[in-house]
Amino acid sequence: MSRAATGDTVVVKPSNNVYTVLVVVATIVEILGLIVLFTRATTIFGTGLLG
């Protein structure tokens, strides 16, 4: 097999989106964790997280 450029266009369709799904799930989990932290900050820290 040769890897020389022939000028032919090769269209490759994405076949596996596992890493994209993992990144989206991790981002959602992180955002939910931050929301829980900020909403329960009074219980955890006494005066709130920013106060």
pTM summary value: 0.57
Determine, yes or no, domain membership for 36.
Answer: yes
The residue among 37 and 22 whose pLDDT is bigger is: 22
Name the domain count of the chain: 1
Provide the domain limits for residue 24: 15-51
Task: Please give the structure tokens belonging to residue 2.
Answer: 């040769």
Q: How many angstroms separate the CA atoms of 29 and 49, rounded?
A: 20
In sequence order, the 6+-apart residues with CB closer than 8 A to the CB of 44 are: 37
* Interval 43-51 mean pLDDT: 73
Residue 6: inside a domain, yes or no?
no
pLDDT of 38 reads: 83
In a domain, 51, yes or no: yes
**What are the φ/ψ torsions at residue 44 (nearest 5 degrees)?**
-80, -50
Of residues 37 and 12, which shows the higher confidence score? 37
| HEC letters along 17-50 | CHHHHHHHHHHHHHHHHHHHHHHCHHHHHCCCCC
pLDDT tops 70 at residue 5: no
Distance between CA 40 and CA 6 in Å, rounded?
61
pLDDT level of residue 33 (50, 70, 90 thresholds): very high
- Rounded mean pLDDT of 12-28? 86
Question: Has residue 25 been placed in a domain?
Answer: yes
7 in any annotated domain: no
